[in-house]
């Protein structure tokens, strides 16, 4: 199957990054958002990323302009009807995702492959909103998408081997390394990462050490690029909170239960970098 046009649902942190790497790989990209305001925000983040790459001499102005012109924002689902692959990166809400894919299923030709970037929902729960569960997989990217090299390709019990192969080849064309995972909440990375991050919150909450020392411990002691509390602020505490809810529901294992401090911070609107305050203050 030749892929020319990619649809991305969501122009936020993850969707914007996916649109960028897809356009960088030469694909035409249609990005769907709920309103013009979100499209403008998405373009602003993309422009800032491209300007940084040009400034650092990593990309020519002509290449950046070409990439930018290949990304077309829209608020109409119909504009994704000509896409060969649609990657969804919208809010982690099963009903909203199912509704979107049911609409896309009615609009897109039979060959179009559907992928969800969900980080914790089971793919099969979303895929069954369509009549093409065999052409439905997970493609889980990592934040920041332009930098992180991994994509988890998730096959459900209904995904065809061809669907997983197309997703794997697409990830490779986007400059990523794909690993294959089964359709279980958290897949490979979040299954291991989420308990670690929650333990860091518990350590801080119990007064074991300062947030700076917890982070320095993991950066200098284990060679991590950033400490767990800094990473939580980057991922978004609201995002992690919703992931823990889904994983706890799935496994009923206390290691996935949200520590009270995480819940309190989310309820207070302390989402991390995106809201200006999380474990650290970014204002």
The residue whose Cβ lies closest to ligand CAA is 119
Q: Which is nearer to ligand CAA, 146 or 259 (CB)?
A: 146
Q: Which is nearer to ligand CAA, 86 or 232 (CB)?
A: 232
Q: What x/- string results for residues 49 through 68 when contact with ligand CAA is judged by CB under 6 A?
A: x--x---x-x----------
Kindly state the DSSP code that residue 87 receives in the 8-state scheme: E
Is 169 designated active site? no
For residue 214 the two structure tokens come to 């917890």
Tell me how far the alpha carbon of residue 235 is from its chain's centroid.
10
**SS3 state of residue 266:** helix
Q: Of 142, 204, 256, 271, which one interacts with ligand CAA (CB under 6 A)?
A: 142
The single residue of 49, 159, 190, 275 carrying the catalytic annotation is: 190
Q: Which of 200, 223, 225 is nearest to 213 (CA)?
A: 200
283 is a site residue for ligand CAA (CB under 6 A) = no
- Please give the Cα distance from 279 to 271 (Å, whole number): 9
Q: Which is nearer to ligand CAA, 116 or 190 (CB)?
A: 190
Contact criterion met (CB below 8 Å) for 87 and 174: no
Size of the site for ligand CAA (CB under 6 A): 17
The single residue of 53, 116, 152, 155 carrying the catalytic annotation is: 152
Is 242 designated active site? no
146 is a site residue for ligand CAA (CB under 6 A) = yes
Q: Which is nearer to ligand CAA, 17 or 73 (CB)?
A: 17
Q: Of 74, 143, 158, 160, which one interacts with ligand CAA (CB under 6 A)?
A: 143
Residue 32's contacts (CB-CB under 8 Å, 6 or more residues apart) are: 7, 8, 9, 10, 11, 74, 75, 76, 77, 79, 80
The minimum distance between CB 251 and ligand CAA, in angstroms, equals 16
The single residue of 33, 88, 140, 275 carrying the catalytic annotation is: 140
Contacts of ligand CAA in 223-242 (CB under 6 A): 225-226, 231, 235
The minimum distance between CB 34 and ligand CAA, in angstroms, equals 21
Contact criterion met (CB below 8 Å) for 12 and 143: no
Contacts of ligand CAA in 181-210 (CB under 6 A): 190, 193
Contact criterion met (CB below 8 Å) for 260 and 269: no
Q: Which of 118, 119, 177, 116 is nearest to 148 (CA)?
A: 177
Is 140 designated active site? yes
Please say whether the dihedral angle defined by the alpha carbons of residues 33, 88, 119 and 232, taken in this order, is positive or negative: negative
Question: What are the φ/ψ torsions at residue 16 (nearest 5 degrees)?
Answer: -65, -40
Contacts of ligand CAA in 105-134 (CB under 6 A): 119
- Please give the Cα distance from 225 to 171 (Å, whole number): 23
Piece of the chain touching ligand CAA by CB under 6 A; list 1-9, 143-151, 208-216, 247-255? 143-151
The single residue of 119, 120, 242, 275 carrying the catalytic annotation is: 119
Is 162 designated active site? no
For residue 24 the two structure tokens come to 């960088």
Estimate the crossing angle of helix 36-55 against helix 13-24, to 10 degrees.
50
Kindly list the residues in this chain that would bind ligand CAA in the complex (CB under 6 A).
49, 52, 56, 58, 119, 142-144, 146-148, 190, 193, 225-226, 231, 235
Q: What residues act catalytically?
A: 119, 140, 152, 190
């Amino acid at each position: 199957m030749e892929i020319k046009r990619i649809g991305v649902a969501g122009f936020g942190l993850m969707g914007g990054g996916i649109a960028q790497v897809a356009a960088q790989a030469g694909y035409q990209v249609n990005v769907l958002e709920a309103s013009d305001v979100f499209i403008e925000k998405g373009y602003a983040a993309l422009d800032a990323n491209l300007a940084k790459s040009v400034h650092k001499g990593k990309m020519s102005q002509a290449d950046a302009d070409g990439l930018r012109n290949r990304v077309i924002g829209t608020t109409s689902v119909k504009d994704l009807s000509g896409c060969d692959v649609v990657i969804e990166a919208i809010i982690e809400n099963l009903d909203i995702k199912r509704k979107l894919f049911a609409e896309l299923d009615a609009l897109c030709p039979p060959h179009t492959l559907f992928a969800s970037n969900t980080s914790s929902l089971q793919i099969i729960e979303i895929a069954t909103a369509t009549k093409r569960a065999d052409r439905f997989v997970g493609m889980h990217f990592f934040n920041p998408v332009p930098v992180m090299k991994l994509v988890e390709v998730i096959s459900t019990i209904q995904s065809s081997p061809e669907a997983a192969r197309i997703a794997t080849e697409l990830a490779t064309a986007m400059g990523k390394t794909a690993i294959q995972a089964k359709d279980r909440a958290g897949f490979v990375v979040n299954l291991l990462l989420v308990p670690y991050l929650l333990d860091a919150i518990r350590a801080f909450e119990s007064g074991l050490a300062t947030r700076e020392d917890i982070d320095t411990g993991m950066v200098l002691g284990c060679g991590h690029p950033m400490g767990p509390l800094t990473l939580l602020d980057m991922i978004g505490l609201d995002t992690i909170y919703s992931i823990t809810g889904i994983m706890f529901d799935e496994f009923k294992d206390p290691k996935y239960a949200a520590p009270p401090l995480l819940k309190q911070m989310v309820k207070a609107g302390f989402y991390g970098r995106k809201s200006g305050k999380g474990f650290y203050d970014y204002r």
